[in-house]
Chain A
Amino acid sequence: MDSIQIPPIDFRLIAPLLVVTTWAMVLLLVDVFAIPANRKKLTGYLAIAGLVVAGLVAIPLWDVSGSTFSNMVVLDRYSLILTWIFLIIGALTITMALDYLPRHGIEQGEFYPLIMFAVAGMILMAQGTDLIVLFLGVELLSITLYILTGFAYPRLTSEEAAMKYLVLGAFAAGFFIYGIALTYGAVGTTNLALIAERLADPAAETNQLLLLAGASLILITFAFKVALVPFHMWTPDVYEGSPTPVAAFMSVGTKGASFAALLRILVTALPALEPFWLPVLGMLAALTMIIGNLGALSQTNVKRMLAYSSVGHAGYILLSIMVVSERGAQAFLFYTLAYTLTNLGAFAVVIALEQRSNATWSLDDFTGLYKRQPLLALAMAVFMFSLAGVPPTAGFMAKFYVFTTAYEGGLGWLVLIGVLTSALAVFFYLRVVIRMFMHEPQGELEPTLDRGLSADIAIAGGLTLLFGIVPAPIIFLVERSLVAAGG
């Protein structure tokens, strides 16, 4: 019998992914056999080291591009920049969790490798050029997140969050796989570049009905994952119930990775279907911007407010995705980076104010924060300004970038809605700032600022300001990103 010939594989192209997954698997064993139960922080430090190594490994790949594994994954600068963003998300999340977990009595060494697996799933979503690989990336990320949301298991809200996310996520996975099946039925391939080829070929007969049904199902999946209205209902409950570092991770990680995959699908596979998905996504974006920001207005729970705000921001990111051009991808990368830093920082401040016994995440906790912890209050003000899109923060530059790109891309009416809802959003972001600076402190609430949190807030706040004042290096970086077709 003939032996199976394994095709040549270029391992360089998936080097960051390999480092993250291998490191996570080895770390699992190290954690169980070599690290004593009272020193689990060490696992966290090792996980951060792994993410840093993966980031360093990726640097020489800047000038490399190509696809491997039968054209199932591609390495281009677009995915490389996203990989770095995802590694930063993972590292900052772990830093946040180092002291949070023991403080809340839910410390387990497996937390850190699980975050690494989630990061691996996200990298896969950025690099995948085949619907099957994208599906597996989504599943790797989602299954990890189901576990992480339920990580504070004895706490009922955590259990509720995990169940809600699991049931809805399983539905979304069903939609995705069904959509892939229908698309395959219509065009006979799952490779993104080949799908575009078949669609562009006038001689090929494609079943339009099957194709549209498949494309819609795939769109629905991503709409659920990034929490576009009307698929956003789970977001506040899940964010509120899950451990706060996990909520922070989800709010930026899932969004970034899902949008990355969606952009690649739209740009590479379905440009021919633009007349179909443009109005659909336009409606979703408009609804998301309006309802997300309106929902945040009435919240008195900071975690829920941030959840609704993340829904609103999904709408803004979607604007950049819909401009299927190089500039759209650039605006998307810039926005994702700015939003990532800002939102992780805001969640870190929330963690600092979170008490184990009485976790209400009430807005009242922020009252008079400036008198108690001036630096913390200043940092939170920076994050709020950045989320609202006020200069001189990264959030402003990002919004500016996205809105101009969308306007040039012919999405004028959506930009109008975007600007109006941003103005609306200023109200609830500034409400927090006013409470911190203008009011006298009430009650006895001592913020717990451990080293990890301080480092997190300092890095996130510093970079948010830096990229707001000197955006040129990042713009230089994203302008050199190209979405390769990979096929």
Chain B
Amino acid sequence: MDFVLFFLTAAIALAGAIAMLVARNAIHSALFLLLNFGAIAVLFLLLQSPFLFTIQLSIYAGAIMVLFLFVVMLLGAEQVEAAQDKLPWQQPLALVMGAGLLVIAVITAVRGGSNDAPPGGEAAEAFGDPASLGELLFTEYLLPFQITGIILLVAVIGVVVLNQQRTQAQSEETPGERPSSSVQP
């Protein structure tokens, strides 16, 4: 059963990746990438890593994809332009390096039995599951956890501050068109 499921998801992941590369429309590319992310999330689940599964879905498929789509739409860069390639040597180089990476991956997969325990002993039973991770965050890593929260707060303040200033500056430049009261927070 697992085996069938694996091949199905792997095929979907591969199809998504290839389709992403060949799609001419950037939005389509992004959506195919989403398909690929989803399939990989399922692969994580098959490897019994529920935490990676959720992270993959919420961070990659959720946050990063939305960011991608926003950028593509805001820039209006849906269509690939037929402009001349400014770095012609890039494509062959990328092909060679990609092939090299593939060879390394295949060699590693063939040589190292993937069923062996990782060096340094067997991983703990609860390794990488959300519960033990959460426990670590609230015990050993309590301070970093809290500081991360403050860093995110500062980042949010920054976005608000910098944007607010821009609207104020614009309203100063065009006082007639935009009453300054309307841009007050």
A residues whose Cβ falls under 8 Å from a Cβ of B: 4-7, 9, 21, 25, 28, 69-70, 72-73, 106, 108, 110, 113-114, 117, 120, 124, 130, 132-133, 136-137, 139-140, 143-144, 146-147, 150-151, 153-154
Assess the A140–B154 pair: CB atoms within 8 A.
yes
A69, A108, A120, A150: the one within 8 Å of B150 (CB): A120
Q: In the complex the two chains form, is A150's CB within 8 Å of B138's CB?
A: no
Contacts of B134 in A (CB 8 A): 4
With both beta carbons as reference points, the residue of chain B lying nearest to A68 in the complex is identified as B143
Interface string of B114-151 (1 = CB under 8 A from A): 00000000000000000000110011111110011011
Chain A residue at minimal CB-CB distance from B160 = A110
A140 touches B143 (CB 8 A): no
B164: CB under 8 A from chain A? Answer: yes
Check B154 against A147 for contact (C-beta < 8 Å).
yes
The total number of A-B Cβ pairs within 8 Å is 80
Contact A132-B142, Cβ < 8 Å, known A139-B151, A140-B151: no
- Tell me if B162 and A147 are in contact (CB < 8 A): yes
User: Are B135 and A4 in touch, CB under 8 angstroms?
Assistant: yes
Within the complex, what minimum Cβ distance (angstroms) separates A137 from chain B?
8
Q: Does B153 contact A (CB under 8 A)?
A: yes
Q: A108-B165, A110-B157, A147-B158 are in contact. Are A73 and B150 (CB under 8 A)?
A: no
Candidates A28, A70, A114, A143; contact of B151 at CB < 8 Å: A143
The answer to whether B158 touches A6 (Cβ under 8 A) is no
State the interface size on chain B (CB cutoff 8 A).
25
The one of B139, B144, B165 that contacts A6, using a Cβ cutoff of 8 Å? B139
A6-B139, A133-B143 given; A108·B164 CB < 8 A: yes
Partner of A117, one of B135, B139, B150: B150
Report whether B147 and A124 are in contact in the complex, using a CB–CB cutoff of 8 Å: yes
* Bound-complex Cα distance A153 to B140 (A): 40
Taking the complex as formed, is B169 at the interface, i.e. its CB lies under 8 A from any CB of chain A? Answer: yes
Which residues of B approach A to under 8 Å, CB–CB? 134-135, 138-144, 147-148, 150-151, 153-155, 157-158, 160-162, 164-166, 169
Contact present for A70 and B140 (CB under 8 Å): yes
Q: Which 7 A-B pairs have the closest CB atoms?
A: A147-B158, A154-B169, A69-B143, A136-B147, A70-B140, A153-B165, A110-B161
CA distance A117 to B169 in the complex (A): 26
Q: Which residues of B contact A106 (CB under 8 A)?
A: 165
Write the nearest CB–CB distance from B126 to chain A, whole angstroms.
Answer: 12
Interface SS majority for chain A: helix
- Is the beta-carbon distance between B138 and A69 smaller than 8 angstroms? no
A153 & B158 in contact (Cβ 8 Å cutoff):
no
Complex Cα spacing A150 to B157, Å: 13
Please give 5 more A-B residue pairs, beta carbons under 8 A apart, in addition to A73-B143, A114-B154, A147-B162: A4-B139, A70-B142, A136-B148, A143-B155, A150-B162
CB-CB under 8 A for A28 and B164, given A139-B151, A143-B151: no
Task: Report B-chain residues with C-beta under 8 Å of the C-beta of A21.
Answer: 150
Can you list 30 A-B pairs with a CB-CB distance of less than 8 A? A4-B139, A5-B139, A6-B139, A7-B139, A25-B153, A70-B139, A70-B140, A70-B142, A70-B143, A72-B143, A72-B144, A110-B160, A114-B154, A114-B161, A117-B154, A133-B144, A133-B147, A137-B147, A140-B147, A140-B154, A143-B158, A146-B158, A147-B154, A147-B157, A147-B158, A150-B162, A153-B162, A153-B165, A154-B165, A154-B169
Expressed in whole angstroms, the Cα–Cα distance for A41 and B166 within the complex equals 21
Q: In the docked arrangement, what's the CA distance between A62 and B165, Å?
A: 43
